[in-house]
Structure 1
């Protein structure tokens, strides 16, 4: 096995980040911590965390959007309710399989902000007055994640 130095690893990161990742994994597996490119490793781990958080935020936003469409867009209900319910099922599945305890806690803290964005998007998409929707999020995270929960009509 050829040993790669920290400087070589840093240069590799600029040229081929996938190969950099493979080499970094090798160093970690062999516990060769002295040759790790820690600055770029930290950057990549932070990016990974942001991507995971953004993914679960986006999935929750989509659930709320479709719940709002289902509950408030009366003119399109008969034509689209099955589609919206199907989307809710798919987004819930993906979200429930992506959540960790810490990501769930972050979503609890951000639920109101995500609701406000969803409310704005549905208002624009459906051309419905934002006054039609509750001002604050009427749903709990548990309801939004529950495969069997839908708003009452």
Structure 2
């Protein structure tokens, strides 16, 4: 039985151990022994997870920015909490961003905004939000920007 077959079987039974073995093969430059099919699948999965995480951070920034700007009834009670959430999510997103993720988020900003609007409308019972995202991508990431 070859190492490639072993890696394929290992992938099915212990994905984490298979990844550790794959890393060792890469470090040793034993490329011919890699299970490329499953390695590609794992890399695609990692890319999707990274994008989903970045979208989630951005959505949370938008949600809390909208709460801060529009939900006047709750403002006095919650504004410090919302500011803290915005700061935290900005920090997390800025630390997670790559050029590729930044481009994808900018391209999908309107869709992310719409999902934030859906959430905020349910939470606040307000129906007053702009149809298009009123914030630029740069504003959403800027630690000095507040609506």
TM-score interval for Structure 1 and Structure 2 normalised by the shorter chain: over 0.9
CA shift, 1:106, in A, is: 0.4
SS at match of 1:97: helix
Matched residue pairs, number? Answer: 146
Instruction: Say whether 1:110 aligns with 2:104.
Output: no
Q: Structure 2: which 5+ runs fail to align?
A: none
Superposed CA offset, 1:75-125 (max 9, x none): 000000000000000000000000000100001000001001101110001
Q: Structure 1: which 5+ runs fail to align?
A: none
TM-score normalised by the chain length of structure 1: 0.94
Question: What is the alpha-carbon root mean square deviation over aligned residues?
Answer: 0.7
Instruction: Say whether 1:146 aligns with 2:109.
Output: no
Q: Give 1:1-153 correspondences, 5 Å limit.
A: 5-129=3-127, 132-151=128-147
Q: Which runs of 4+ in 1 moved over 6 A?
A: none
